[in-house]
Amino acid sequence: MRVPLGWLRDYVELPVDPNAVASMLAELGFPVAAIETRPVITGVIAGRIAELGKHPNADRLQVGRIEIGDGAPLTIATAATNVAAGQTIAVATIGARLPQLTIERRKMRGLESEGMMISADELALPADWFEDGIMQFDPALQPGTDVVEYFRLGEAVLDVEITSNRVDAMSMIGLARELAAYQSVPLRLPELVHPGAGSRGPTHKVTIESPDCRRFVSQIFSDVHPGASPAWMRIRLALAGQRPINRLVDISNYVMLETSQPLHFYDAAKIPHHHLIVRDARAGERFVALDGSVRELTPQALVIASETSAECLAGLMGARNSEVTPATRELILESANFNGARIRRTAQELGVRTEASSRHEKSLAPTLTEMGAARAAQLLAQSGATPHEAAAFGQPLAPPAPVEFETRDVKRILGFELPVQEIREQLDRLGFKVEPAGKSALRIVAPPWRTDVTSSADVLEEIARMTGYGRIAAEIPAVRAHEIPSSDYRRERKVATTLAALGYREIVTYSLHGAQVFEKLRRGGVNPPKRPVEVLNPLSEEQRYLRHSLEPAMLEYLARTDVPERTFEIGRIFYTEDRQPLEMSAVLFGFTAEPLDEPDWRDTHFLRAKGDCEAFLRALTARKSFESAADERPAYHPGKTGALLLDGHEIAVLGQVDPRLQRAFGVRLPVYLCCVHLDDIPAYEIPQFKPPSKYPSTYRDLALVCDVELPAQRLETALRASAGPWCTLVRTFDEYRGPQVPAGKKSLAIRVTLRKSDATITDAEADEVVAKAVSALRAEFGVTLRA
């Protein structure tokens, strides 16, 4: 909220320095986002145009004799056309400093001009919010009055942030009240007399049919004239960011900014029998707003209606039919209180937000209706309107419920001691009523405008604010032992450190993406998910879908570089099951690599990826070996994809990305990826030590010729099974295909390592074991020893 300091000073004594005010507000919980300092303007005074005539040498200029109080009248020429004799206007005297210029004695078409008549623009006010031409003041303003000082135009404007619980502070008086309490100085409220009391005149009636209108204060005013507001009000509104419109609209805005209470004026002539009804809108009821827009209402909306039509969307905006116009002579004032939630829902449903609704939807204190109405009545009366008797409808003002407050909670919750006397003084300054309730408790009644204070915790915050949060002393707590596990996080952490140690670089990408990802998948021959998890209210089409896998973002990342990369991401992926959106944690790692000059039955990159994947799984599970099996799945190469299994369960899938998909994503180099769902990884199993044999091992290297289709792993497993207990390791270390072996065959070089636990194994024993194992393989797979 824009808060002109010059306005705020009406109600409370404040330091001169706006920074000092800003830091007080921050201490109170109202941070100041910006301090807008005003330009230095000097030498501008009010002048009365005593005479005005044509310039002797120029058709388009006029020359005025301007009375300026004590000094001799000034002769000033102007090109403005909105001037007339008798007006009180803004005059910059010789030597005056304006934002863009300094006024000097000068000749205008041969005539000496002793200053300049100036416009709102030269006073650094928004030019299009004020009269076109010279700034006009009220005739009552004494000529010679220093304009900047009188209107406090040099005072900074603070942009104050007000939290949603403090709608009472969304006003000059609300903030002044806080600043007065903070400084222990008096608050000066405008003197409120309810004009019109006892007067006899037109009567009116309000019928409240909805409990969502809690209170409705109203009053009729005759003899209203919607001309321009006085300069002081227009200037204050403008500095507060509110465009001045006319006397009536300005009064309602002024009162709202001053007291927080929004008002509405109805042209009384348009309200049959002066009867207003607060009711739910009828289904399909048409509403033509002030701005001419037409809306169809639902019963969700609360309206203030005449006997014939809806005249106001409660708390939001008025209808065109009964709006005040220059022809309005009699008006009905509304100062009402509504259920905030209802206003809020309606505002959302209709997509309307106004200054009034932003206050109503936070549930204003009902007591403000009186204050707002009284202040408006006063200002209307000042402007020449005749007030008639005010009336209040709805629920009576109930005093706030008292709060029982244990004084020891100050120490228990805030951590510091505070004497009861000090607590009472602080609350007293904020307008709370405090009395003792038993030995250590206080009975506290909040002031009626503080509907946000309903519990002991709320009172504590008031005490903390008044004491100053600086009083809270830093202390390290002794956290008691508990049994809450960190296992999921630790596993994620372990995944990250393991992959970083294996040379992979972590990336973090967006979980939301657009349809272009599906398009790329399709172009790469991959069907997008049938029912992706979709955001109902995306910010843009680029963020409509939740990722179903980590691959697309990684491919997009890899597409941005031409050099080989090693990278990983850990994150949530989202999918739909039985129309139920679900999510799980996944990790994806892999690399791009220049293709190797290898026969088409060998891919060392794949084997490297597999090695990394095994190392990764070993670190997480402490298991030593994993089975592998060929696998086929969309997005991956049909002949270079495998799964790693542990105890028969698939725990990782790895392979080369389908080259068609790689190209669809614009990645230059072949991509090898390994994808793991974190929940599939079995828990870390504490390894158990077995003392190794003291005796040396020996090995035999075998060249076995077998069918090309036979996976190396099957031969290894069979060898190991038939080699007996002395066999400690079987590992294939080379493969050959070509003229040296028959067609349809390949030769695998396998090392069998043997070791006895109780003696050194002899050559003869080793040869015998291996020979037996080979003959078993011959029987099972038709394997022969290569010559």
Partner 1 sequence: MNLSTNLEQLRARFEAALKQSADARSLDSARIAFLGRSGEVTALRRTIGKLPAAERPAAGSRINEVVEQMETSFREAQARIDALDVGASLSQRIDVTFPSVAPLQGSIHPMKRVMHDVCAYFERHGFAVVVGPEMEPDYYNFDALNIPPDHPAREGFDSFFVTPNLLLRPHTSPMQIRTMQQHRPPVAVVVPGTCYRRDAVDARHLFQFNQCEGLLVDEGVHMGHLKGMLTGMCRELFGSEQQVRFRPSYFPFTEPSAEVDTTCPLCRGDGGECRMCGGSGWIELGGAGMVHPNVLRNVDYDPDVYSGWAFGFGVERMALVRYDVDDIRRFFENDAAFLEQLA
Binding positions for partner 1, 579-598, rule CB under 8 A = 581, 583
Least distance (Å) between residue 550 CB and partner 1: 13
Distance of alpha carbon 169 from alpha carbon 158, whole angstroms = 14
97 or 465: CB nearest partner 1 = 465
Assess 684 for contact with partner 1 (CB under 8 A). Answer: no
The secondary structure element, H or E, covering residue 734 is strand 727-736
Q: What type of residue sits at position 305?
A: A
Assess 461 for contact with partner 1 (CB under 8 A). Answer: yes
Instruction: Out of 285, 422, 492, 627, point to the residue binding partner 1 (CB under 8 A).
Output: 492
User: By three-state DSSP, how is residue 101 classified?
Assistant: coil
Assess 680 for contact with partner 1 (CB under 8 A). Answer: no
Q: In angstroms, what CA-CA distances link 774 with 150, 176, 703, 768, 786?
A: 109, 96, 10, 10, 12
Interface pattern 350-369 for partner 1 (x via CB under 8 A): -----------xx-------
Chain residues 615-674 in contact with partner 1, contact rule CB under 8 A = none
Assess 743 for contact with partner 1 (CB under 8 A). Answer: no
The string of DSSP codes covering 201-258 is: S---EEEE--TTEEEEEEEEEES----PPPHHHHHHHHHTT-----HHHHHHHHHHHH
Instruction: Out of 499, 550, 652, 706, point to the residue binding partner 1 (CB under 8 A).
Output: 499
Instruction: Out of 103, 153, 256, 464, point to the residue binding partner 1 (CB under 8 A).
Output: 464
Convert 541-610 into a string of H (helix), E (strand) and C (coil): HHHCEECCCCHHHHHHHHCCCCCCCEEEEEEEEEEEECCEEEEEEEEEEEEECCCCCCCCCCCHHHHHHH
151 or 616: CB nearest partner 1 = 616
495 or 715: CB nearest partner 1 = 495
Query: For 714, phi and psi rounded to 5 degrees?
Result: -70, -40
Chain residues 3-32 in contact with partner 1, contact rule CB under 8 A = 26-29, 31
**Which residues fall within 8 angstroms of residue 133, CB to CB, at 6 or more apart?**
80, 81, 82, 83, 119
Query: Cα 74–78–83 angle (5° rounding)?
Result: 90
Beta pairing partners, 581: 576
Distance of alpha carbon 378 from alpha carbon 372, whole angstroms = 10
Least distance (Å) between residue 454 CB and partner 1: 10
Chain residues 302-341 in contact with partner 1, contact rule CB under 8 A = 340-341
Q: In angstroms, what CA-CA distances link 640 with 303, 610, 659, 737?
A: 69, 11, 11, 18
Interface region with partner 1, contact rule CB under 8 A, candidates 304-312, 535-543, 715-723, 734-742? 535-543
Assess 497 for contact with partner 1 (CB under 8 A). Answer: yes
Give the count of beta carbons closer than 10 Å to the beta carbon of residue 84. 12
- On whether the CB atoms of residues 445 and 402 are closer than 8 A, the answer is yes
Instruction: Out of 198, 291, 439, 489, point to the residue binding partner 1 (CB under 8 A).
Output: 489
Assess 484 for contact with partner 1 (CB under 8 A). Answer: yes
Chain residues 163-192 in contact with partner 1, contact rule CB under 8 A = 163-166
Q: In angstroms, what CA-CA distances link 668 with 559, 597, 721?
A: 7, 17, 44
Interface region with partner 1, contact rule CB under 8 A, candidates 55-63, 240-248, 534-542, 662-670? 534-542
Residue with tokens 């969307």: 313
Instruction: Out of 139, 396, 438, 477, point to the residue binding partner 1 (CB under 8 A).
Output: 477
Chain residues 129-168 in contact with partner 1, contact rule CB under 8 A = 163-166
Assess 530 for contact with partner 1 (CB under 8 A). Answer: no
Least distance (Å) between residue 414 CB and partner 1: 5
Distance of alpha carbon 98 from alpha carbon 123, whole angstroms = 7
Assess 495 for contact with partner 1 (CB under 8 A). Answer: no
274 or 491: CB nearest partner 1 = 491
Give the count of beta carbons closer than 10 Å to the beta carbon of residue 360. 26
290 or 507: CB nearest partner 1 = 507
Instruction: Out of 59, 70, 191, 483, point to the residue binding partner 1 (CB under 8 A).
Output: 483
Give the count of beta carbons closer than 10 Å to the beta carbon of residue 668. 14
Least distance (Å) between residue 535 CB and partner 1: 5
Least distance (Å) between residue 751 CB and partner 1: 21
Assess 401 for contact with partner 1 (CB under 8 A). Answer: no
Least distance (Å) between residue 438 CB and partner 1: 15
User: By three-state DSSP, how is residue 661 classified?
Assistant: helix
Assess 508 for contact with partner 1 (CB under 8 A). Answer: yes
Assess 537 for contact with partner 1 (CB under 8 A). Answer: yes
- For the chain, give the longest Cα–Cα distance: 134
Distance of alpha carbon 713 from alpha carbon 457, whole angstroms = 68
Least distance (Å) between residue 292 CB and partner 1: 28
Interface pattern 405-444 for partner 1 (x via CB under 8 A): ------xxxxxx----------------------------
248 or 302: CB nearest partner 1 = 302
Assess 455 for contact with partner 1 (CB under 8 A). Answer: yes
Instruction: Out of 72, 140, 327, 536, point to the residue binding partner 1 (CB under 8 A).
Output: 536
107 or 480: CB nearest partner 1 = 480
The secondary structure element, H or E, covering residue 334 is strand 331-338
Q: Residue 345: which of 361, 358, 356, 359 has the closest Cα?
A: 361
280 or 330: CB nearest partner 1 = 280
344 or 637: CB nearest partner 1 = 344
* CB environment 590-615: b (16+ within 10 A), e (fewer): bbbbeeeeeeeeebebbeebbebbbe
Q: How far is CA 640 from the centre of its chain?
A: 46
566 or 751: CB nearest partner 1 = 566
416 or 601: CB nearest partner 1 = 416
254 or 568: CB nearest partner 1 = 568
Instruction: Out of 539, 686, 743, 787, point to the residue binding partner 1 (CB under 8 A).
Output: 539
The secondary structure element, H or E, covering residue 749 is strand 745-754
Assess 538 for contact with partner 1 (CB under 8 A). Answer: yes
Distance of alpha carbon 568 from alpha carbon 652, whole angstroms = 14
Assess 608 for contact with partner 1 (CB under 8 A). Answer: no
**Dihedral Cα 297, 298, 299, 303, nearest 10 deg:** -20
146 or 701: CB nearest partner 1 = 701
Q: What type of residue sits at position 188?
A: R
Distance of alpha carbon 50 from alpha carbon 179, whole angstroms = 45
Interface region with partner 1, contact rule CB under 8 A, candidates 229-237, 498-506, 636-644, 715-723? 498-506
Distance of alpha carbon 273 from alpha carbon 253, whole angstroms = 27
Assess 349 for contact with partner 1 (CB under 8 A). Answer: no
